[in-house]
Chain A
Amino acid sequence: MSKMLNLKLKIWRQAGPNDAGSFLDVDAKEIPEDASFLEMLDIVNERLIADDIEPVAFGHDCREGICGSCGVMINGQAHGPEKATATCQLHMRKFNDGDKIVVEPWQAASFPILKDLMVDRRAFDRIVEAGGFISVPTGTAPDANEIPIPKEVADTAMDAAACIGCGACVAACPNSAAQLFTSAKLAHLNVLPQGQPERYRRTEAMVETMESFFGSCTNHGECHEACPKEIPLDFIAMMNRDYVKSKIKNRSLASQR
């Protein structure tokens, strides 16, 4: 049987986007250390239901660290204390008996709170819709091996594409900037040969859409620290360079490109 922890939780509760919120104090006794953080919240919720209190709403789905649905601030840290770990993969053995844990939703103006710990991250989809794709209608593709891609390039694209879109980067940023997310998407497509024809159009459109929702980057690097997939900061530099280039290349006179 698991070792048991007794914890003092402060969990943010908020009925809806326009309601005032407040902390709920929970005396979470007998929490097995083998439980994940979300399973700990499950246990707390079951006890709340038994006491006729509505359970705390939080985003979650795959619980394998890949869907990007989950994510809360744990004692002020996005996804909690363990590096490179999404909330669903964080386990209670990382905490000590008697710990006080404050659980809050992502806090960013572009991620309005839907309820309790759930936020609306649809702004990320708008950024992707602005250009985060390669236009290749189904059926038009050449043979997959017709375009050789150096292994290092494919690996870099994969490093960028590993982003799960959880929003921890925005939540961790003092400016609520979305540079890490946006640059990861851009790098994934912009380093590949297939991504070249739309590279500068994509970069300009995605960066400007990002700026219409999110704050500005001032190089704190907190995003990388919070990222469960350890997306490197280099991609932000790559994005900035491509953005400057795009402002020249996207001018209407084709001969100047």
Chain B
Amino acid sequence: MVTLDAKIPEGPIAEKWDNHKFSVKLVNPANKRRFEVIVVGTGLAGASAAASLAELGYQVKVFTFHDSPRRAHSIAAQGGINAAKNYRNDGDSVYRLFYDTVKGGDYRSREANVHRLAQVSVDIIDQCAAQGVPFAREYGGLLANRSFGGAQVSRTFYARGQTGQQLLLGAYQALAGQIAAGKVTLYNQSDVLDVVVKDGEAKGIVVRDMLTGQVEAHSAHAVVLATGGYGNVYYLSTNAMASNVTAAWRAHRRGALFANPCYSQIHPTCIPASDEFQSKLTLMSESLRNDGRIWVPRDRDELRSPGQIPDEERYYYLEEKYPSFGNLVPRDVASRNSKTVVDEGRGVGPLKNGVYLDFAAAIARDGEQVVRERYGNLFDMYERITGENPYQVPMRIYPAIHYTMGGLWVDYNLMTTIPGLYALGECNFSDHGANRLGASALMQGLADGYFVLPYTIGDYLAPKLGEKPVPTDDPVFQQAIKEVDDRTRQWTSKTGGTHSVEYYHRELGKIVWEYCGMARNETGLEKALSEIPALREEFRKNVKVLGSPDGVNTTLEKVNRVDDFMEFAELKARDALHRNESCGGHFREESQTPEGEALRDDENFAYVGAWEWNGPDTPQTLHKEDLHFENVKLTQRSYK
């Protein structure tokens, strides 16, 4: 029987982390080299954790499926990273960042974790600046800031529109230094396909070498997963093509509880899909909503080009419905309203699947040059993708899946329910509740890797001094290797498949988007729960995988991932069905205010829903971690 003990330290909120750092067990500097740690993933969380652990003296093995650690998807984050530096003298503080993040998460995150995140945010900026991250600066040479949605202070640090790239390069370079020093061993093009558990503790992983197809095991004293989110369960998302849930899902199947899988964030300003062949969606920075006006034609059968439609025949739906916030309502509100107008048949573009984001007013007011200076690179990117010039015709945008707040359940130490197995960054659930604020993902990934795990992992390792890692010829490892090898080889050994992996992934995405996307209801979710297992069965029977398992086989890599998404999708729908309230990224149509806004149910749902694996084709068991709000006052959000 699993019990969820979050291990939140005693004391007032502002002292919990300091108290905890003092009370955790330490491994003395000379003994750290006697411990081996496996880190899976080299995004912000994984690279920063691996580098920091190695600097402390631990022996680290780091695994990535990319050819270079620098290609992890953190690289694509655009906007910025929050920190409570209060450099702008505008009233920011650790407490305010904490408060904004809990509120922005619609009161479904753990207060103690979020406060710690806000505390270490200031250290992250120092660390990154010292590494040479070229943050934007003022003419006086000091760091520049900008403001972001959900905050009334200016606390976001940025490096042009490539903040994720620059922070990841900083972490990657720190990692490269440790690789060169021999403290970290890098395993690239290595696909982690299982977590090995012995006597209830994580002891290693099973890996497929993507160049040779060889399946092998690695053991260590602890295993750290930093493997990102599950957005690609929707097929179309802003995630990179290879982003997947596999390592987290395999950990779940080995006993780690999976928390809040129904929470996923939808970003309102992405370029709409243009056809069936569309492989992914591209995000346009949210900052565009500062100057762009969002509208659709009032007439469903409108055929004129946008410039010919007079103002009174345009429906500026956000400005009309939310006069005080207008086009700057939070992500979830903007997204849902776009869906509403498109579902009503007012969508624009050849497939009627977008809404206009119009800069004509800004260009008339400030001049094209000013708009070009602010958004030039985004306008260029838009034109490259769509072939349309947004200085002349309005952009077309539509919401897309962008980030996932749910993930492996972790305690305050970032340890999952499997002792010795940690989860960092987007692949855990802990800090963003039901909705993540802009510029907070980078903050969390680096907080976990640079400043949290290096302290908390010692508490688990210290009592194990003198223990050797389980050798990989142990039967538990050999069994796990065989299972992975058999599972992988089955795909290429069967004949008579009818459809490609891509086909099934797309079909799965359609179901999940339709019934577990921007708005959910009981009937739809029940439907998803019957359609997903049926699709999974058909997929396993009929998927066609060509080529050999011994060597590079990109389809084979993907089929394992889609297979895991097929199981994960069902859990996601089940979680969404059980959570009969609307909160953050989870909008249940049954739970809304008379005006059609999201309505939380704190009485019944102020908890983390963490699911326990019970075996294939058996529904998971729900465990609840009640959330206690001692510092933040729960209110219903209103943006009218």
Contact = CB atoms under 8 A, between A and B. Distances in A.
A16 B212 CA distance: 10
A253 interface: no
A36 B381 CA distance: 13
B240 A67 contact: yes
Nearest to B164: A66
A155 B141 CA distance: 11
A142 B122 CA distance: 11
Interface residues of B, number: 81
B240 A141 contact: no
Given A91-B387, A122-B188, A141-B126, A133 B554 contact: no
A39 B240 CA distance: 14
Given A52-B546, A137-B55, A151 B141 contact: yes
Given A114-B211, A154-B134, A161-B134, A57 B454 contact: no
B71 A68 contact: yes
Given A39-B278, A144-B143, A149-B137, A158 B132 contact: no
Contact of A132 (B71, B134, B173, B554): B173
A189 B169 CA distance: 11
A57 B558 CA distance: 12
B540 interface: no
B123 interface: yes
Interface string B503-536: 1000000000000000000000000000000000
B401 to A, nearest CB: 15
Contact of A121 (B67, B136, B159, B553): B67
Given A55-B554, A154-B134, A162-B162, A34 B274 contact: yes
Interface in A112-159: 114-115, 118, 120-122, 124-125, 128-145, 147-151, 154-155, 157-158
A191 B350 CA distance: 49
A43 B130 contact: no
A16 B450 contact: no
B544 interface: yes
B73 interface: yes
B502 interface: yes
A189 B172 CA distance: 14
B552 A118 contact: yes
B20 interface: no
Interface stretch (B1-9, B174-182, B337-345, B595-603): B174-182
B277 A148 contact: no
A219 interface: no
Contact of B275 (A2, A15, A121, A133): A2
Interface in B367-387: 381, 384-387
18 contacts: A1-B275, A15-B551, A33-B387, A43-B277, A46-B500, A62-B75, A63-B280, A67-B71, A115-B552, A122-B68, A125-B68, A133-B173, A134-B131, A136-B130, A136-B174, A138-B48, A138-B55, A164-B165
Given A36-B385, A63-B282, A137-B55, 20 more contacts: A35-B277, A39-B277, A39-B279, A42-B277, A42-B279, A43-B277, A49-B555, A54-B547, A55-B554, A55-B555, A62-B76, A93-B387, A125-B176, A129-B179, A134-B131, A142-B130, A144-B143, A149-B141, A158-B134, A161-B159
CB-CB nearest 6 A-B residue pairs: A148-B141, A141-B130, A133-B173, A144-B129, A158-B134, A157-B134
